[in-house]
Chains A and B, each alone.
Chain A
């Protein structure tokens, strides 16, 4: 349908309005980077709220942080780092045209992603059982304040910590769910052999998205879990 002679030489993946495959790939990749800039601002609003309240309500934040399950948090961090590795290897596999390897790596990524979500679910359930979910049944009495601090714990300020905890991890989990969806889509097409050394932009930009979601967690983990983990003594 295109009158451009270049388009005829290339496969059907070149859309009519681009002059060349390179231009198309550059555009897609720039688009993804810009989208990630948008995402940074999106999470940025919450990080801003987090910083302000953490400054004001440090004791409550420290106490809330202590109540999180460090074991699961750490495991989840490792799971996500592994998933980033499989994504990076997957991009390479796609570039080298190794279809089978690509499919395996994409499956692994999805498994890691689901594992992360499952563990997150366990943690949230724990919070639910401890009445740490903001709302009418919120109960902060069992929380221990930092031992070196003489300040107290104000339940309404403690709720702010858990509000932010659920808002931030919830939003991150939502991004993970979207990411798993994207990778399922990529897996389907990879399995059909659509990605070649010449054309693998979707894997590349899907990977960018996945890495971004990982990086958000790399910030969330210390900010939420490690506020005050000095050994009790």
Chain B
């Protein structure tokens, strides 16, 4: 181990310069060890232990249980027979669809509109983005007040327009809609900023020459903006879909324990419910594995559907 004193001179590789000062193995280990220790101890190791835990019988959080499940695959069999798993999968898919059309869709429309104005761009950017900065828990409480049956902001507002009866936003019929809406609302600004940055990267000359050729504003949007934005839109879709699987705070604050009647569980909130509320920790582990498998499948599908094109 030398500190580069007698290492070979600088090697030039396809434009990449590998300097002779960075050879010391001592520093590699010193610099990498802390971060990788964290990754291994807090991510890789627990991930595998979690699989082990799904076969054990664990009553209390904080132990690995005393014996194996009997039958060993008990939890996995339960996954297929538990009607709430089906409900939470259904809701999660609904969340994904809402993410694609709601978050990215609205963001795309708004960013295309903002691209057409000169004044106030910065203002809209600031205002649209800020719900993301606020904790979803606080927003959950806020939306609880807004959707209150007797009578929150929305019901009072509808009353102003002469609607006589109150709408039960959190009742069985509308619960899913009421749960998804704030999540969509919160993240529109995030995708808006990404898409708007993408639009700003499109050269003005393209629009100008299209205008000279007689293209209308709408034609310019469909034949220039959207095609050139394709890759950015794909990135947003991928981010949105994977993000939809991680949603927890807002639904849990607004609809704790899957109320009403366990109708509003998402895969994540159901995993938490089984682990912390129902004290079925090993089943919670199994649900976590379901989330991982779901995540892998969905991101594979998304990547192939929204594949970024190389030729732009």
Do the two chains belong together in a single complex?
no
Binding site for B on A (CB under 8 A): none
